[in-house]
Amino acid sequence: MANVSSQPPKWRGQDSAVYTGVFDPFHLGHLDIVKRGSRLYDRLVVGVGTNPEKKPFMLVEQRVQLIQKVVAPYPNVEVRPFTNLAVRFVREMGARIMLRGLRTLSDMENEFTMSLTNLSLDSEIETVFLMAREEYSHISSTLIRKIASFEGDLDKFVPPEVKAAILAHIREEGEKK
């Protein structure tokens, strides 16, 4: 006789996902992926990483605090820093899914390489991609840092909390000079 069990299926981490990135700074494109991801999974962790090859625009602690403020309306979203391998961090969070956003063909190339590398580092962690919404597909952290350095208007690119933090950061940096 077939083994019909009333037990729920063994938990395999599909109810959680981890959206990894550097988020330096966090912008409206990132926020859109968080919103959509929070509807797909019961729990979404935003993993804020560091790029060891680059001096950050904002410190990781500052980025985490800022993203926490921005995502406060989404109760199933949490924000944590990580310094180890992304796949390890995903596992530590009890998840099996790494969420990423895709904007352009050039993103595709990098993300393809990254996801294959991650798969060979840990074959149980899958990367799931969400296509960027058209209105955000041109936004990148690099672009925002550039606009900010020329004191351009950031309203259409970042949430108000991030805009305020960027302006304060630029003021502080200016005072140091």
Nearer to ligand ADP (CB atom), residue 156 or residue 171: 156
* 15 part of the interface to ligand ADP, by CB under 6 A: no
Applying CB under 6 A, among 41, 57, 82, 136 the residue interacting with ligand ADP is 136
* 36 part of the interface to ligand ADP, by CB under 6 A: no
Least gap, CB of 6 to ligand ADP (angstroms): 40
- State the DSSP code for 1: -
C-alpha span between 100 and 110 (Å, rounded):
11
Active site residue 54: yes
Among 17, 18, 23, 66, binds ligand ADP (CB under 6 A): 23
Instruction: Check binding of 159 to ligand ADP (CB under 6 A).
Output: no
142 vs 171 by CB, closer to ligand ADP: 142
Q: Which residues of 26-54 are buried (b: 16+ CB within 10 A; e: fewer)?
A: bbbbbbbbbeebbeebebbbbbbbeeeee
- What burial class does residue 65 get, using C-beta atoms within 10 Å of its C-beta: 0-12 exposed, 13-18 middle, 19+ buried? middle
- Cα separation, 100 vs 130, in Å, equals 6
By beta-carbon proximity to ligand ADP, the closer residue of 71 and 132 is 132
176 is catalytic: no
User: Which residues are catalytic, by number?
Assistant: 30, 54, 103, 141
